[in-house]
Structure 1
């Protein structure tokens, strides 16, 4: 299947269009206004938001990422979020978003792309592995 996907970057004016798709991944975002405000704060830290549109021009999937530089990976894009509406799954939207991020990383002369994924997200893991990602480490966290 070589379906064409339209990928667009969302700005402050149209961030709200991503809310329903993002809420699939981030259910704690209980209102569109809170989501838009949170994205606005993250944009100050370099967060960018892209969307894959369905054939009617509606947001079917979204990805949020940022350009980072650190000692272990050098310059890279870090994907914070990838989420697809249930009705749009298995249609290639998330894969198209990942390919767009790959191209953006190359354009920015990054060494690669990194992401973390919840251990229960098996379908996402299959997509990441089939898209060339590897599992080089475990992620540890501590909450307070």
Structure 2
């Protein structure tokens, strides 16, 4: 598998793939603009390409530091095209992010995952992730 980092010039290549996870994104232009904004906060986007050079899976992540985990990479987005699942793309991206965390001197990698994403949970657990906490959220008006 070929893994590449996407920059402002080629971010749009990930649009169809990211929509598998984020269907509320309806425009490639809006997606690119959102990624551009997040890049100001350290967000990076990497893609696993299939044999034909198309984006099969993407991972979006950023460096974070907090009291409970210290310096770590946080994976905001990880998804694979439905037609490319079970081919190792997401696992390859997780390994790439692990290596990048080591290169940057981070203590670990963290992510949240929807409770309904059972296949993703199997991948994370099989890749050495643990479930150390529950994530709570609240909408405020």
Same fold (TM over 0.5): yes
Q: Does 1:44 align with 2:40?
A: yes
After superposition, what is the alpha-carbon deviation per residue over 1:54-83, rounded to whole angstroms, capped at 9, x for unaligned?
A: 001110000000011110100000000001
Equivalence for 2:49:
53
User: Which runs of 5 or more structure 1 residues have no equivalent in the other structure?
Assistant: none
What pairs up with 1:42-121 in 2 under 5 angstroms? 42-121=38-117
Q: What is the aligned-residue RMSD (CA, Å)? A: 0.4
- State TM-score, norm by structure 2: 0.98
Query: Separation in 1 of the partners of 2:31 and 2:118?
Result: 26
Query: Separation in 2 of the partners of 1:72 and 1:30?
Result: 36
Q: Does 1:11 align with 2:7?
A: yes
Point out 4+ residue stretches in structure 1 off by more than 3 angstroms. Answer: none
Q: How far has the Cα of 1:143 moved from its partner? A: 1.4
